[in-house]
Amino acid sequence: MATPERQAAWRRVAAWFGWGALAGLGYFVLLPVLLGGAALLPIAVVAFEDGVLESLIAAAVGLLVVLLLGGAVSVPAALLFLAAAVLGAEMRRAAPLLRQVGPAFLLATAAVACYFMLPTLFGGQQLQISAQQAHALGQMFGLPAREVRSITAQVGAMLPAVAPLYGGFMLFEGFYFTRWTLLARRRGLPEVRPFLRWTAPEWLPPIYLALFAAQLGSGLLGLSTDVQRWIGFAVLWSEVPLLVIGLAILSFWLARLGIPPVIRVVVLGILLLTPAFAELLIWIGILDVFIDLRRIRGSTTS
């Protein structure tokens, strides 16, 4: 007859397998619909509650599930699950927020890059499928094949910009999904600054303004096309945190007006889909560094 300790140990092992299978299913189903961060949650929970080695066992189960479901390339999934293990381990150590998300962000970015690049390097399979899908859409909407190929090339050229953005977005999802799950399981976690009180570092707006000026003057300076493209990527990368801060500022004032959270999410979503408003939010994020639009800098509750 098994002792209670052995039964508890077997329950923990079963939990690792269950969390791992859930991670593999989440990766396969949710990554294409911009919810890949949910795939980090199971592995991060195991790393937080049991340790890194146990989370790697769960990650191995998740990789097996990905392969069984038809995922031909497992390297991106392995990198993403490793990012989740690192995230959970740093959360367990109660490390500073930047330490919690920094290494995991790099791994998540590498996972996104590999997700698009590895099939192309090993036979061009995914690139061919994407071209076929784009060609089918071109026929549907009456676009010429030359324009379809141009669009496909532009998407490939944007990969260096897209990978860190989507990697950061997935990590943002995974971090908060994991926090909410651990809090629901009554696990002790250090407080983090609420989204409504997020602020941009003081050094970010000057860097963005310098890059923005370089982008505007790149043609006059006679810079090469590649240099102009990378300046554009740098502008895009620096715009994203400022856009997030702009969203936090607007959400702060909507909350002050008593707008319910669901309505705030809908409003912010509509603004994000409107380029003019999205650009305005970026400049609001810049302005907040110099003016403190919410009067929260230096506050003990921030």
pLDDT at 135: 57
Residue 126 CA, distance from chain mean position: 22
pLDDT value at 136 more than 80: no
The pLDDT tens digits for 149-176 are 565 555 556 666 667 777 777 888 888 8
Q: Tens of pLDDT along 62-82?
A: 888 888 877 555 778 888 888
pLDDT at 129: 40
Cα–Cα distance, 187 to 20 (Å, whole number): 20
- Rounded to a whole number of angstroms, the CA Rg of the chain reads 22
Q: Nearest 5 degrees, angle CA 52-CA 55-CA 60?
A: 130
| CATH fold for domain 1-122+161-189 | Arp2/3 complex 21 kDa subunit ARPC3 (1.10.1760)
SS3 call for 194: coil
Per-residue pLDDT of 239-292, as tens digits, reads: 888 888 898 899 999 999 999 888 888 888 888 778 788 889 999 999 998 888
pLDDT higher than threshold 80 for residue 221: no
pTM value is: 0.67
Identity at 140, one-letter amino acid code: M
pLDDT of residue 148 exceeding 70, the answer is no
Q: Tell whether the model's pLDDT for residue 204 goes beyond 80.
A: yes
For residue 144, name the pLDDT band (cuts at 50, 70, 90). low
Q: What is the pLDDT of residue 235?
A: 83
Q: Encode burial over 226-237: b for 16+ CB neighbours within 10 A, e otherwise.
A: eeebebbbbbbb
Question: Could you write out the DSSP letters of every residue in 180-207?
Answer: HHHHHTT--------GGG----TTHHHH
What is the CB neighbour count within 10 angstroms for residue 193? 13
pLDDT at position 286, please?
92
Predicted local distance difference test score (pLDDT) of residue 96: 72
Structural domain boundaries in the chain: 1-122+161-189, 193-302
SS3 assignment, position 254: helix
